[in-house]
Amino acid sequence: MRRLTAVFSIILIAFLAISTDAADLTLRIDVQGETPDIHVLRQNDDLVEFEVRIPLIRLGESILNGRSWDTIELPGGASGLDLGAPEVPNFTRLLAIPADRSIRAEFEVLESRTLKNIDLIPTQGIEPERQISSSPQFSFNPEVYNKDSNYPIEAVVTSDPSIMRGYRLAAVTMNPVRYNPVTQELQIAHRYRVTVHIEGSDFRNNPVRAPRPVSRTWSKIMQQMIVNYDDLDLDINPTGSYLIVCENDSELVNVLL
């Protein structure tokens, strides 16, 4: 549950994050807004398949350890947590899965773009501009930076199942941006397909009680975060109202308005 809560928090922060001192690089013009567009292609008892289109990324620069580095941001996404490795953005959404079942995800690149001469900054866990003398020392992983291969290795990763408000969910973390530190090439899959197979047995974190009703505000958040939200059949609480009991005195009522 802690793992899923952390993922949920990262996604929510990504929705609220605002980037400064960076330039937008348009990748597609068929997506409204700046965050990735998700379209469910098909779903049944055995799989959920969806397509993601990324309209843009943000390129910038930061000073770290006395030198300039390139930075990249994916609106609506988050950054990896592997200290010292290239700070490559990822994109995570949740998937509702049935009880007793396990999942396996496949990633297929449909359209991509490659950027050259990118000197990508290593992950520090804190923004370089906010580092002070008491901050942790410079993190740099030479094993990753000296390897002639794409990082991250896996294009898609799924988490263990967890329970949230009575629903069994798993996080699907996608890595549409991958970086080769030796060739300094950044590969961006700006249109890709993810197929999540529901197969096998997994008895961890099965729901033990019926899902809890949710507010309309919470349901809107879940709709943004859960790929197969329409399959949940949420019990949404109606909007409430207030009954105010007071003396028949207009001055008292005016204070409350």
Give the 3-state secondary structure of the chain.
CHHHHHHHHHHHHHHHCCCCCEEEEECCCCCCCCCCEEEEEEECCCEEEEEEECCEEEEEEEEECCEEEEEEECCCCEECCCCCCECCEEEEEEEECCCCEEEEEEEEEEEEEEECCCCECECCCCCHHHCCCCCCCCCCCHHHHCCCCCECCCCEEECCCEEECCEEEEEEEECCEEEECCCCEEEEEEEEEEEEEEEEECCCCCCCCCCCCECHHHHHHHHHHECCHHHCCCCECCCCCCCCCCCCCHHHHHHHC
Whole-number percent of the chain with pLDDT over 70:
80
In angstroms, rounded to a whole number, what is the distance separating the alpha carbons of residues 194 and 74? 18
pLDDT in tens, 149-162: 999 999 999 999 99
pLDDT band, very low/low/confident/very high, at 216 (cuts 50, 70, 90): confident
Q: Average pLDDT in the 230-252 region?
A: 71
pLDDT reported for residue 16 = 43
pLDDT at 42 over 80: yes
pLDDT band, very low/low/confident/very high, at 3 (cuts 50, 70, 90): low
Q: Domain containing 49: what range?
A: 2-256
Question: What residue type is 175 in one-letter code?
Answer: N
In angstroms, rounded to a whole number, what is the distance separating the alpha carbons of residues 61 and 63? 7
Reading the block at residue 164, the tokens are: 């949230």
Domain of 151, CATH number, reads 2.60.40.3800
What pTM value is reported for the model? Answer: 0.81
pLDDT in tens, 88-117: 999 999 999 999 999 999 999 999 999 999
pLDDT reported for residue 20 = 43
Q: Average pLDDT in the 169-196 region?
A: 98
Q: Which long-range contacts (CB under 8 A, 24 or more apart) does 65-68 make?
A: 65/138, 65/140, 68/119
pLDDT reported for residue 11 = 56
pLDDT at 18 over 80: no
Whole-number percent of the chain with pLDDT over 90:
68
In angstroms, rounded to a whole number, what is the distance separating the alpha carbons of residues 18 and 102? 36
In total, how many domains does the chain have? Answer: 1
pLDDT at 174 over 70: yes
**Please, what is the average pLDDT of the chain?**
87
In angstroms, rounded to a whole number, what is the distance separating the alpha carbons of residues 48 and 26? 29
Q: Average pLDDT in the 28-44 region?
A: 97
Which residues lie across from 39 on neighbouring strands? 51
pLDDT reported for residue 124 = 92
